[in-house]
Chains A and B, each alone.
Chain A
Amino acid sequence: MQKKIVIIAALLIMTSLVPAASQIALGQSETSAKSSTGRRGPELPPQVQKINELIGQSWADYEMKPSKKASDGEWCRRIFLDLVGRIPTVEEYDAFVRSRSKDKKSKLVAELLYDEKYVEEYARNWTTLWSNILIGRTGGTERNSLTNREGMQKYLRDTFARNKPYDKMVFELVSATGTTSPGSEKFNGATNFLAMKVNEEKASLATAATSKTFLGLQVQCTQCHNHPFNDWKQQKYWEMNAFFRQTRALRRFTPGTRNVSGAELIDQDFAGEDNEPAQARVFYELRNGETRMALPKFVDGTEIGASGYVSEVNRRAELAKKIVRSEYLDKTIVNRTWAHFFGYGFTKPIDDLGPHNQPSHPDLMDYLSGEIKANSYDVKKLMTWIALSDAYSLSSLANSSNRDDDPQMGEVPKFTHFYLRQMRAEELYESLLVATQAAEARGNYEAQERMKTQWLSQFVSQFGTDEGDETTSFNGTIPQVLMMFNGGLVKQATDIKNGGFLSKVAGSRLNEVKKIEYLFKAAFSRLPTKKEANILKETRAAYKSEANWLTDIWWSMINSNEFVFNH
């Protein structure tokens, strides 16, 4: 008897008060698709069922049982982080958990994606993500950089606020002309993607970044030689490179100074490296010293006119047209989006789709690629399908059959449970603001972004190579823990005297138990387990002041793995 109670108590801790009702075991493959339809009402898009079917099939193939479902609170925290880049507020959490609606998940996804009140946060989140993809975390922060970070963000914010189709965004980024800085004549924020990538080294950065980001093709190694592990050949690299050779980024100066205020991205006639503009070729050297030449030719082998005169052939515009018609475009955005929600894509790295790197779920990747194309590249639809899938609803706790499904251990992901992952630095920043309700008074968008960039800069360093590589020391390191222990942002978040979040909780009429519950909802999107509540209540006696007690609990919560992980 005694023993049994202990076990129950232990279970309570382990499951962190997962409501019994949501512990519905998932069946496998077909049955799961059917039962989930019954449970959620008929309006689930067919794409969700297809995802469930294909992922369920792979669970059966690997003989793994998926984990049980995540609690409503966990799922709610997850979807807020993934769509709008922050954890839910206590009010948002309460609203979702209390709702008895059968399709409350669909409703929340739709709300976060389409409701007026989340437009700004949605756009901010995806602007941050895509800024990092397109120009890196440090792009535009260097002195006299040609990249204007605000210009890039302005373009992306508009793109995501209006839900511009993905193919249109790619076309604009690849073919953009105009100036980089907001407020300047001919401003076009899309130019910031290429502004720093075309002038040096025969536009090698532009060649590599465009291929990798939009087509999932890693070409940088083949600049100097045929790569042994890569299907790409050196010739293909230079054929791709030839598309960028009409393009220049011209410096623009702040009037009366020698400070670079930005750049103008232009296309001008290219004479070719042997000065024959009608047949404007680029030359490269094989390892054995032989010289070869290349004209623009797309990865699928299709060619465009050889002329270097922009009036006859605008090479970059031609390239953009070819890219948005390529099946690699579809696969790349599917893979990238899937990886965003699950932490792992169908390939690793996600932007390497070459034939040497076989995807883990080729059927699913192909299916979703077809669907995104058929749905006019509406990425919000893709997000909806993924977010409502069974795989996305699973707990991050493994069970006895799926413990080995851990990509961190070098296994191919099977998506039988949610993979724990550190919040991105930006997510943590925004979440700290939410958890402490410091978000209200923080100036206009540009000022907010500048503050965030400044905060992030302590974790980002550049390698100082010609390829603009950068690294972040953010994830799970001592400097990160030190920042969370002692940094200004957390100091502010745990300051009980400043009239902020904690002082409101402390000064409220809630009793001590309810105060703890409130903190749990704010930090963890759940209620404390009985055990946790009891332990914390006992600790109260060790404090003279309630304020110190609450501060220490709150500080410990913010610093815990449960807070800093998306789970």
Chain B
Amino acid sequence: MNIPRGMSRRHFMKHMAGASALAGSSFAMGNAIKANAGDLKKRRKSAILLWMGGGPSTMDIWDLKPGAATGGEFKPMSTAGDLQICEHMPMTSKVMDRMSVVRSMSTREADHGRGRYYMHTGYVPNPNMEHPTYGSVIAHELASQRPELEIPPFVSVGSDAGGPGFLGMAWAPFSVGSNGQVRNLGLGLETERLLKRQDMLRLFGSNFAGTKFDADLTKVGQVDRGISSKEHMEVIDKTWNLMTSEQMKAFKVNQESPEVLERYGDNAFGRGCMMARRLVEAGVPFIEVGNGGWDNHGNIFPTLRDNKLPIIDRGMSALVEDLTQRGLWEDTVVIWMGEFSRTPRINGNAGRDHWARSWSVAVGGGDIKGGVAVGATNEDGTRVITEPYSSEDLMASVCKGLGISLNTTFTSRNNRPMKIANSGKIIKDLFA
């Protein structure tokens, strides 16, 4: 279903006009601002977070310790960059001239829920404040670069990406499965009925919220019913936009050729990475692709070698190559991380437990330098021996890589000023 652009709802509105409850409610279907589209495209930045749920053992992937008692079974291999990584990442090794590894991450949250929150927000959990997650922050900052975007600016593909916190539900992740199917998309109604419903819904919505809204949902007067009554209306508007948008085809991963799918890997993560590239092309500023199963308390080496690493190796390397080939690499930051890592010590079940004190993340693209290893851990991987970096520092660096000013300040709902990335410092060695 596609609503013809430019068609106004005047036909119906005239019956409502006397009512004035809908003061100025002729919000546009879709934000069809086509002017300077070429220009905008050039400046559009995006980020893709590859989220490794469960806490991947980074000393078996990015920071190997051959010969150490804690070193495990894998050997390092050389790469296209100036660093070595795990031998079971051969395809990724060829794109390591574009990705870098920060080997001196040191954090304190080693519980899944807390770690997930901290690494996604730059803040430790606080019962009185919900902090916005990576995707919400970056989508919020970059949305103005793409006024033509009709689909959600933050898409989560099979990941628990966290929430928009004080930025509001309009910046919540749009969650889809890796097959790209969005449920309940078609209303099967003619346009005219749709527009009528839209107006009636708006009438009920503003009456309930206890205020009137402008076309862009700026409130006219206080929302006495509470912020969520207004947010509900905003999400409804986003849904109308999405239902009628041509851009939804970005989700259709089955439009890719079998060869491309084969290159990414015909699995949830591979399809997710492929969809991320399609969404970046469509102008979505932030995509998170989830891959779980890294909570390897037992039997870690066969699990990584035979199952986890081949999937990641294929999907991630395909993504970097594809973005490069399409000329998008300089505008797209890719982040690979989990909530923490795993103990250097190998436990009695041939596994590794939770560990946050010394670990690695991989990052590249945008203005971020590729091919380097930043920081270092000691000989058995139990300690960071260079300047330690935090979630805040990583987030600040990602912002810099996307050209987002670190002076950006949000106002939380209780009117507290919140600096972007929680005032993290830039990881200097990631920039030329």
Contacts and interface: CB of A to CB of B under 8 A. Distances in A.
Interface string A520-546: 000000000101101110110110000
Contacts of B188: 486
A243 to B, nearest CB: 22
Contacts of B295: 464-466
A561 B229 contact: yes
A424 to B, nearest CB: 14
Nearest to B238: A478
Contacts of B238: 478
A352 B126 CA distance: 12
A449 B127 CA distance: 33
Interface string B7-19: 0000110011011
A264 to B, nearest CB: 25
Interface string A52-96: 000000000000000000000000000000000000000000000
A144 interface: no
Nearest to B192: A542
A542 B112 contact: no
A467 interface: yes
Contacts of A559: 197, 201, 236
B239 A409 contact: no
A397 interface: yes
Interface string A316-357: 000000000000000000000000000000011100100001
Among B152, B228, B414: residue with most chain A CB under 10 A: B228
B219 to A, nearest CB: 13
A410 B208 contact: no
Interface in A385-431: 396-399, 403, 406, 408-412, 419-422
Interface string B368-404: 0000000000000000000000000000000000000
Among A224, A225, A421: residue with most chain B CB under 10 A: A224
Nearest to A67: B224
Contacts, number: 203
A532 B203 contact: yes
Interface string B225-242: 111110111011011001
A535 B231 CA distance: 24
Interface in B2-31: 11-12, 15-16, 18-19, 21
Contact of A535 (B11, B19, B185, B232): B19
Contacts of A411: 128, 414
Contact of B224 (A397, A481, A542): A397
Contacts of B226: 396, 398, 406, 408, 419-420
B207 A483 contact: no
A557 interface: yes
Interface string A451-482: 00000001001011111010101001111011
Interface residues of A, number: 73
B227 to A, nearest CB: 6
Interface string B79-93: 000000000000000
Contacts of A348: 127-128
B284 to A, nearest CB: 13
Given A463-B160, A469-B112, A482-B185, A561 B169 contact: no
A111 interface: no
B222 interface: yes
A288 to B, nearest CB: 11
A492 interface: no
Nearest to B229: A561
Contact of A221 (B18, B111, B200, B209): B111
Given A221-B114, A463-B292, A538-B18, A396 B225 contact: yes
Interface stretch (A152-160, A250-258, A547-555): A547-555
A362 interface: no
A188 interface: no
A539 B196 contact: yes
Given A224-B354, A535-B21, A552-B196, A565 B232 contact: yes
Given A485-B243, A542-B12, A477 B19 contact: no
Interface string A297-327: 0000000000000000000000000000000
Among B166, B226, B292, B413: residue with most chain A CB under 10 A: B226
B366 interface: no
A477 B174 contact: yes
Contacts of A458: 183
B353 interface: yes
Contact of A542 (B196, B210, B242): B196
Given A561-B233, A567-B225, A478 B208 contact: no
A420 B229 contact: yes
Interface in A222-243: 224-225, 228
Contact of B183 (A14, A410, A479, A565): A479
Nearest to B127: A348
A548 B193 contact: yes
B432 to A, nearest CB: 37
B175 interface: yes
Contact of A466 (B15, B114, B203, B297): B297
16 contacts: A352-B127, A396-B225, A406-B413, A410-B416, A411-B414, A464-B292, A476-B169, A479-B174, A479-B175, A482-B183, A482-B184, A485-B187, A485-B243, A486-B187, A560-B208, A561-B233
- 6 shortest interchain CB distances as A-B pairs: A464-B292, A409-B413, A556-B200, A560-B204, A562-B208, A486-B184
Interface of B: 11-12, 15-16, 18-19, 21, 53-54, 108, 110-114, 116, 127-130, 152, 158, 160, 166, 169, 172, 174-175, 182-188, 193, 196-197, 200-201, 203-205, 207-210, 222, 224-229, 231-233, 235-236, 238-239, 242-243, 292-293, 295, 297, 345, 353-354, 412-414, 416
